[in-house]
Amino acid sequence: MNLILSSGIRRVINADRPAMENFLVAHWGSAEIVTRGKMHHAGKLPGFICMHNHAIVGLITYRILNDSCEIITLNSLIRRCGIGSALMDAVKQEAYRKGCRRLWLITTNDNTPAIRFYQKWGMHITDIYPDAMVYSRKLKPSIPRTGCDGIPIRDEIEMEIGLDATNPASSGNDALGYPPD
Ligand SMILES: CC(C)(COP(=O)(O)OP(=O)(O)OC[C@H]1O[C@@H](n2cnc3c(N)ncnc32)[C@H](O)[C@@H]1OP(=O)(O)O)[C@@H](O)C(=O)NCCC(=O)NCCS
């Protein structure tokens, strides 16, 4: 990864919240994100951020419930420089450190670039929820009808990676050097 960019990755702090909210609105239509029929206010969630020239160029948000960590949003504005992977690594390490056994997320059927990215990063497709977006649009009517490459946005795709001691990349050894919050 580009060292200048990697040095810009850190935990989200409260002072980031207004810019984070604007970033989420710009990229997801609003800071409210629906997954599995639940609305999440991503602007209030914990996350990691990548800053470059005082602007957000990468953001990941997540929530931890029991022993599962769900990634709610991920965006990288400077593609193919390793920002997306580094943000995923940061959350994976954090989830492991907090005792999670599973890191998971929901994406949509149209988002083939993201499905490719997540699989290459190590995730598996574990479930498909046909027509789940019908219910999501009841909670967030602004969700577009079509997405990547003009594909109708219809289904939720669940992806996950297990976090266990046999996986060195999730060993929780603070290799990435993020101090505990
Ligand atoms: C999906 C997404 C987060 C990936 O972010 P990214 O910063 O481009 O991801 P990375 O740079 O870590 O990895 C992407 C590719 O770049 C490659 N790469 C990383 N560093 C590189 C470098 N220095 N030089 C060349 N290639 C590099 C990676 O190997 C990877 O290639 P591969 O796909 O062939 O394996 C980004 O495309 C995005 O924001 N998409 C829109 C939002 C979205 O759909 N989010 C997911 C919602 S569920």
Q: Residue for token digits 């060292």?
A: 3
The answer to whether residue 93 scores a pLDDT higher than 70 is yes
113 in ligand 1 pocket by Cβ < 6 Å? yes
| pLDDT at res. 149 | 97
Structural domains of the chain in order of their starting residue, each with its CATH number: 3-170 (3.40.630.30)
Q: How many CB atoms lie within 10 A of CB 77?
A: 16
- Is the Cβ atom of 82 under 6 angstroms away from ligand 1? yes
Q: Look at residue 138 in the predicted model and tell me its pLDDT.
A: 97
Residue 28 CA to residue 31 CA, distance in Å, equals: 7
For the entire predicted model, the pTM comes to 0.91
Q: Is the pLDDT of residue 58 over 90?
A: yes
pLDDT confidence band for 164 (50 / 70 / 90): confident
Q: 77 CA distance to ligand 1 centroid (A)?
A: 9
**Total count of residues recorded for the chain:** 181
Cα 14 to ligand 1 centroid, rounded to whole Å: 27
Q: Which residues pair with 11 in a beta bridge?
A: 48
What are the pLDDT digits (tens) for 64-86?
999 999 999 999 999 999 999 99
Q: Is 68 in the pocket of ligand 1 (CB under 6 A)?
A: no
Segment 145-167 shows an average pLDDT of 91
Give dist(CA 18, CA 155) in Å, integer: 31
Q: Is 80 in the pocket of ligand 1 (CB under 6 A)?
A: yes
- Given a cut of 90, is residue 107 above it in pLDDT? yes
2-44 per-position pLDDT tens digit: 655 655 799 999 999 999 999 999 999 999 999 999 999 999 9
- Give the residue whose CA is nearest to atom 19 of ligand 1: 82
- Token pair 């602004």 in the structure block, residue: 142
Establish whether residue 61 lines the binding site of ligand 1, counting it when its CB lies within 6 angstroms of any ligand atom: no
Task: Specify the residue for token string 């670039």.
Answer: 113
Instruction: Outline where 13-53 has alpha helix (H).
Output: 17-28
